[in-house]
């Protein structure tokens, strides 16, 4: 996970001559409160009390600048168990208890301090086994069979020699009708979705548009009916429902589907069509579909053409180009009861951004990792290290970029990282941008220790991550498990 968002650019070497350029100042970024920062420890192998060795999971905690940060690593263990279910049997329209038997399902486990989330499926006998950590978990069980209830509960899981056996029965009903243009919509896919986005089993409406699903009492859920498989018809969902023992009726209604053609041709900086370029079309507002969403993904054809059908509304078309040195684009699109031919969309080529990283005295800082990422789904990244004078040159596409200058080595002990942004509007269409200057602050000291099973954990990688996951500081623990870093206050 760590570092996966960076793609190192070959050939982005820094040049010392840049140190003589007059840099344009970058305004200080906003203050980061300690509660917005996360301390993450990435340990290696650990020896368990039984003498076995197992990879230790990464762990995170919020930062409190007023005290020493102590990370007691979570203890991993293997949990096994079974899932069984009782399916009701309909006899002359009356639901009678059925026979309990193994249930195929997917289980989700979430620990509040663990970076990882665990997911495991049962086998044909309803059995499962998964490596977890000890402590309180939120467990969500999604049965394959929509006749069984969607389940979520809290459980303290320990390596106590017994497993977790889950019984799916006696759920509260969620039922309603799906209408399209005022008429019943038969065969519509309907599912329940948790407030954090886990989707439950899917059922389909009958000839009169009715559906029924079940879930555990007390769950907070949305009811969602999916659009057509080609992504043209919007996905419509209800508001959050607090499920009571008696259940809830939730109806979903949509207007008749009227679609219009959206077309575009994607060309590169040299004017040549780009083949098989991936794109994403996401809705911002849909006419007649309150709360509805459309998300289409696909590829331009071999002539660079994108042609699709959409309903009226406003969208963002993201061109997710993967070719190095070519910028992606995010283009606003409005469809108002008529086709939307966008014509040719030309993507920009690379731009060189020179700069220098300095300390509070204006002296260049060597060995600083300057990394930038683009917005959107593509999330490409670029990185380069400053030379002995603190100078760097980075070749990037012409678009908005979010960047971090991260000191390393001995300078990481007295300087903190600085976040800054590069804006598309400030970059030339071709050539070299105006130089930038990034001043590293002294920051505040974050120090502490990492322990496992009461003993110091040496050589664990410790990171400070910002609100959006950006890396702001890093250190390796010493033999005594201690670490020390500085971050922007």
pLDDT interval class at 182 (50, 70, 90): confident
- pLDDT at residue number 46: 58
**Calpha distance 379→381 (Å, rounded):** 6
What pLDDT, on a 0 to 100 scale, did the predictor assign at position 254? Answer: 82
Tell me how far apart the alpha carbons of residues 362 and 365 are, in angstroms, rounded to a whole number. 9
What pLDDT does 176 receive? 94
Domain boundaries, the chain: 16-35+350-487, 260-346
pLDDT tens profile 327-376: 778 888 999 888 889 999 988 888 889 999 999 899 999 999 999 987 76
Nearest-CA neighbor of 188 among 236, 222, 232? 236
Model confidence, pTM: 0.78
Rounded to whole angstroms, the Cα distance separating 179 from 188 reads: 9
What average pLDDT is seen over the chain? 83
CATH class of this structure's domain 16-35+350-487: mainly beta
Query: DSSP letter string over 102-145?
Result: E--EEEEEE-TTBS--EEEE--TTSEEEEEEESEEEEEEEEESS
Query: Residue 336: its pLDDT value, please?
Result: 87
Here the tokens at position 139 are 């467990």
Q: For residue range 86-112, list pLDDT tens digits in order.
A: 866 554 544 555 677 899 999 999 999
pLDDT in tens, 101-156: 899 999 999 999 988 899 999 999 999 999 989 899 999 999 999 999 999 999 99
Which listed CATH number (3.20.20.140, 2.60.40.10, 3.40.630.30, 3.30.930.10) goes with 260-346? 2.60.40.10
Residue located via tokens 């009492």: 217
pLDDT of residue 88: 61
Residue that wins the pLDDT comparison between 413 and 298:
298
For the stretch 41-91, pLDDT in tens is 888 765 555 555 667 788 888 888 888 889 888 888 899 999 998 866 554
- Identify the weakest region by mean pLDDT among 39-48, 209-218, 291-300, 426-435: 39-48
Q: Confidence class of residue 393 from pLDDT cuts 50, 70 and 90?
A: very high
What pLDDT, on the 0 to 100 scale, is given for residue 377?
54
Contacts of 335 (CB under 8 A, 6+ apart): 260, 262, 310, 311, 312, 313, 314, 315
pLDDT at position 363: 93
Query: Considering Cα of 192, then 195, then 197, then 198, what sign does the dihedral take?
Result: negative
Q: How far apart are CA 219 and CA 195, in angstroms?
A: 9
For residue 22, the model assigns a pLDDT of: 34
Residue 177's pLDDT is: 94
- 278 and 218 Cβ atoms separated by less than 8 Å: no
Span 260-281, pLDDT tens digits: 999 999 998 888 999 999 999 9
Give the pLDDT of residue 228: 61
* CB of 306 closer than 8 Å to CB of 263: yes
* Separation between Cα atoms, residue 354 and residue 394, nearest integer Å: 6
- pLDDT band of residue 472 (cuts 50, 70, 90) is confident
**For residues 477 and 463, what is the distance between their CA atoms, to the nearest angstrom?**
11
Tell me what percent of the residues of the chain surpass a pLDDT of 90.
39
Could you tell me the pLDDT band of residue 207, with boundaries at 50, 70 and 90? very high
For the ranges 239-253, 342-356, 373-387, 455-469, the lowest mean pLDDT is seen at 373-387
The C-alpha atoms of residue 410 and residue 445 are separated, in whole angstroms, by 14
Give the range among 303-312, 383-392, 423-432 with minimum mean pLDDT: 423-432
Contact 118, 150 (CB under 8 A): no
In the chain, the percentage of residues whose pLDDT exceeds 70 is 86
pLDDT band at 378 (very low <50, low <70, confident <90, very high): low
Exposed (0-12), middle (13-18) or buried (19+): which is 400, by Cβ within 10 Å? middle
Fold match, 16-35+350-487 / 260-346: yes
pLDDT band, very low/low/confident/very high, at 227 (cuts 50, 70, 90): low
């Amino acid at each position: 996970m760590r570092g996966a968002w960076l793609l190192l650019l070959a050939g982005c070497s820094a040049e010392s001559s840049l140190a003589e350029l007059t840099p344009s100042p970058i305004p200080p970024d906003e203050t980061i409160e300690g509660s917005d920062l996360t301390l993450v420890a990435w340990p290696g192998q650990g020896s368990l009390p039984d003498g076995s060795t197992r990879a230790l999971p990464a762990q995170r905690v919020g930062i409190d600048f007023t005290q020493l940060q102590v990370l007691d690593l979570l203890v991993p263990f293997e949990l096994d168990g079974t899932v069984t279910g009782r399916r009701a049997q309909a006899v002359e329209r009356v639901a009678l208890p059925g026979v309990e038997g193994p249930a195929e399902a997917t289980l989700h486990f979430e620990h509040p301090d663990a970076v990882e989330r665990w997911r495991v499926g049962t086998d044909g006998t309803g059995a499962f086994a998964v490596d977890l950590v000890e402590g309180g978990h939120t467990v969500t069980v999604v049965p394959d069979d929509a006749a069984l209830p969607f389940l979520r509960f809290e459980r303290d899981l320990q390596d106590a020699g017994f497993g977790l056996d889950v019984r799916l029965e006696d759920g509260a009903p969620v039922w309603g009708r799906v209408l399209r243009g005022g008429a019943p919509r038969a065969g519509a896919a309907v599912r329940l979705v948790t407030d954090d986005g886990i989707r439950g089993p899917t059922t389909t409406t009958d000839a009169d548009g009715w559906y029924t699903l079940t879930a555990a009492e007390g769950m907070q859920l949305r009811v969602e009916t999916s659009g057509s498989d080609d992504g043209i018809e919007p996905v419509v969902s209800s508001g959050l429902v607090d499920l009571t023992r008696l259940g809830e009726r939730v109806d979903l209604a949509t207007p008749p589907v009227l679609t219009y053609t959206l077309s575009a041709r994607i060309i590169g900086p040299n004017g040549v069509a780009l083949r098989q370029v991936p794109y994403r079309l996401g809705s911002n507002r849909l006419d007649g579909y309150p709360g509805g969403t459309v998300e289409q993904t696909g590829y331009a054809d071999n002539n660079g053409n994108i042609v699709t059908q959409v309903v009226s509304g406003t969208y963002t078309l993201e061109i997710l180009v993967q070719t190095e040195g070519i910028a992606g684009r995010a283009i606003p699109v409005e469809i108002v009861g008529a086709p939307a031919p966008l014509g040719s969309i030309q993507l920009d080529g690379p731009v060189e951004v020179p700069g220098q990283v300095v300390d509070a005295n204006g002296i260049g800082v060597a060995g600083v990792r300057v990394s930038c990422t683009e917005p959107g789904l593509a999330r490409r990244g670029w990185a380069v290290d400053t030379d002995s004078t603190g100078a760097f040159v980075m070749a990037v596409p012409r678009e908005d970029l979010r960047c971090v200058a991260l000191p390393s080595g001995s300078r990481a002990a007295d300087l903190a990282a600085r976040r800054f942004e590069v804006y598309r509007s400030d970059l030339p269409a071709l050539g070299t941008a105006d130089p930038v200057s990034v001043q590293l602050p002294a920051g505040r000291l974050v120090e502490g220790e990492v322990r496992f099973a009461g003993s110091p954990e040496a050589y664990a990688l410790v990171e400070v991550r910002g609100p959006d996951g950006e890396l702001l500081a890093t250190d390796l623990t010493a033999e005594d498990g201690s670490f020390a870093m500085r971050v922007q206050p």
